[in-house]
C-alpha cells in the first residue's frame, strides 16, 4: 500500500479495495454536503458503487493516466484527492479534491495538494496542472490561490447542478511557477 505523510497526523494513501467501506461511510455521512458542489459523488449509493469507483481508479493508475488518493487524518478517511486525465503528450493534468464536512478548515487539502503537486512536477515531470472549482465555492477556490496557481478565467454556466448551472473558475500552475514558489 502506498502511503505518504504530509503533515502531523495526516497522510495520503492510494485508494484500494479494502477502503471501500470507509469511503462509502464517508460519502454517505456527507451526501447532502457533497451534493452542493460535487453531485457526481451522489451516485455512490452503495458499497458496490464505491468498489467500482476504486476499481476504476486502480485501472486508471495501471494505465498511467491518473490516480486517486484518500486523505487520511488521524487514521480516518477524511476526503479524496485525484489527478485525473494525465495528458502525456502535453504533460498536463487536473486536480480534484473534497473533504468531509467535519474535516474542513484544517489545511488538509492544501497540504495534500502541495505534496501531490510536488510529485507531479518533480517525479512525473509534468508541465501544467489545472484546478477547476465553482465560482461560488470560496473554500475550494481559495486552495489554488494559496498554492500559487493563476486564475486563468471563468467558464460561464459550465457545470450542471440539479436545476441550475454554475460558473467554473479555471486555475493553472506551470512547473516553472512551482519552482519559484518552492525555492
The full set of domain ranges for the chain reads 3-182
What digits encode the pLDDT tens for the residues 117-156? 999 999 999 999 999 999 989 999 999 999 999 999 999 9
pLDDT at 66: 94
- At residue 55, the pLDDT reads 93
**Mean pLDDT, residues 7-36 taken together:** 88
Q: From the DSSP assignment, how many helices (H) and strands (E) are in the chain?
A: 6, 8
DSSP state of 54: H
Residue 18 has pLDDT above 80, yes or no: yes
Orientation of helix 108-122 relative to helix 175-182, angle to 10°: 120
Does residue 174 contact residue 126 with C-beta atoms inside 8 Å?
A: no
Report yes or no: 133 and 141 within 8 Å, Cβ to Cβ: yes
Alpha helices in the chain (DSSP H): 20-29, 31-35, 47-62, 108-122, 138-146, 175-182
**Helix, strand, coil fractions of the chain, as percent rounded to 5:** 40, 35, 25
Condensed to tens digits (0 to 9), the pLDDT of residues 35-68 reads: 777 656 555 567 788 888 899 999 999 999 999 9
Quote the pLDDT of residue 41: 54
**What's the alpha-carbon Rg for the chain, to the nearest Å?**
16
In the structure, what pLDDT confidence band is assigned to residue 84 with cuts at 50, 70 and 90? confident
The secondary structure of 141-152 as a DSSP string is: HHHHHHTTPEEE
The yes/no answer on whether domain 3-182 falls in CATH 3.30.450.40 is no
Rounded mean pLDDT, 170-182: 90
The secondary structure element, H or E, covering residue 130 is: strand 128-134
The pLDDT of residue 43 is: 55
Amino acid at each position: 500500500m502506498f502511503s505518504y505523510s504530509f503533515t502531523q497526523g495526516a497522510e495520503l494513501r492510494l485508494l484500494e479495495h479494502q477502503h471501500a467501506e470507509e469511503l462509502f461511510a464517508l460519502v454517505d455521512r456527507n451526501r447532502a454536503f457533497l451534493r452542493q458542489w460535487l453531485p457526481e459523488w451522489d451516485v455512490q449509493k452503495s458499497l458496490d458503487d464505491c468498489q467500482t469507483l476504486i476499481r476504476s481508479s486502480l485501472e486508471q493508475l495501471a494505465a498511467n493516466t491518473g490516480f486517486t488518493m484518500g486523505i487520511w487524518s488521524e487514521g480516518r478517511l477524511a476526503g479524496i484527492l485525484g489527478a485525473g486525465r494525465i495528458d502525456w503528450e502535453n504533460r498536463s493534468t487536473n486536480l480534484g479534491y473534497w473533504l468531509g464536512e467535519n474535516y474542513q478548515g484544517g489545511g488538509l487539502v492544501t497540504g495534500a495538494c502541495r505534496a501531490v503537486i510536488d510529485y507531479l512536477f518533480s517525479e512525473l515531470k509534468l508541465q501544467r496542472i489545472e484546478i477547476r472549482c465553482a465560482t461560488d465555492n470560496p473554500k475550494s477556490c481559495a486552495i489554488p490561490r494559496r498554492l500559487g496557481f493563476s486564475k486563468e478565467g471563468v467558464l460561464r454556466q459550465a457545470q450542471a447542478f440539479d436545476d441550475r448551472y454554475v460558473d467554473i473558475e479555471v486555475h493553472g500552475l506551470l512547473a516553472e511557477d512551482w519552482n519559484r514558489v518552492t525555492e
